[in-house]
Amino acid sequence: MPVFYGTDLSSRMMLGTAQYPSPSILAQAFRRSGAGIATVSIRREAGGDRAGADFWDLIRDLGVAVLPNTAGCHSVREAVTTAHMARELFDTRWIKLEVIGHADTLQPDPFGLVEAAQILTEDGFQVFPYCTEDLVLCDRLLDVGCQVLMPWGAPIGTGRGLNNVYGLRSLRAHFPDVPMVIDAGLGLPSQAAQAMEMGFDAVLLNTAVAKAGDPAAMAEAFALAVQAGALARDADPMEPRDMAAPSTPLLGQAVLS
């Protein structure tokens, strides 16, 4: 199981908490998925003495680790300020760092991401950066103190799966000992299984589960796929071949002529 900043997790599934039809369905999805981490946007908790209190009570009742995020932040200053608010509110050093650079694709701003990650790491945060599969960007994030990487599979909410399989494989191979989570873009359980087969440590989902016709069932389907993918990877799967190879030996066959 993955270890993030010295914390052992009981699950390779991480779930977001937005867009569910109701709080009860959100809770059902978490129970059936066995997810070990809930990502929570600080923006849900803004304004008023009891604003967001019921939601926060629900998250605590799930009994999972909380990973607050800086979702929707488009500048370093905004992301850093939001991270400090999250640390005070949730009493955790963990922060999922998002610094969005492109409004249509929600692609991370690589320059702002590295700058914000350095500021937060130096201030004692344990940063989970939402990034692309770019090797140079990821190397810079590790240089400034990040110990986990969260590359996207595809743009947030698209459900397109693993858009750049070559790039993701290269990233995984280049940093074999760095915990990595596929974050964003997964739409089907088969895509989560593929990510695990490629050697990633966990997946983070939200839209694919929350917007399904039956979110709880979809959460369980993803959990089973993640388990299957991890088992397949650990079983040392065969490599693809260019030529056919008979599964039945030719020697010893009966001669029918």
Q: Tokens standing for 216?
A: 């709880």
**Which residues line the annotated binding site for 1-deoxy-D-xylulose 5-phosphate?**
157, 184-185, 206-207
DSSP symbols for 181-217: EEES---SHHHHHHHHHTT-SEEEESHHHHTSSSHHH
Q: State how far the Cα of 193 lies from the Cα of 190, in Å rounded to an integer.
A: 5
Residue from 12, 32, 96, 172 carrying the catalytic annotation:
96
Q: State how far the Cα of 255 lies from the Cα of 257, in Å rounded to an integer.
A: 6
The answer to whether 96 is a known catalytic residue is: yes
* Cβ–Cβ < 8 Å for 142, 136: no
Cα 81 to chain centroid, rounded: 23
**Which residues line the annotated binding site?**
157, 184-185, 206-207
Residues acting as catalytic residues: 96
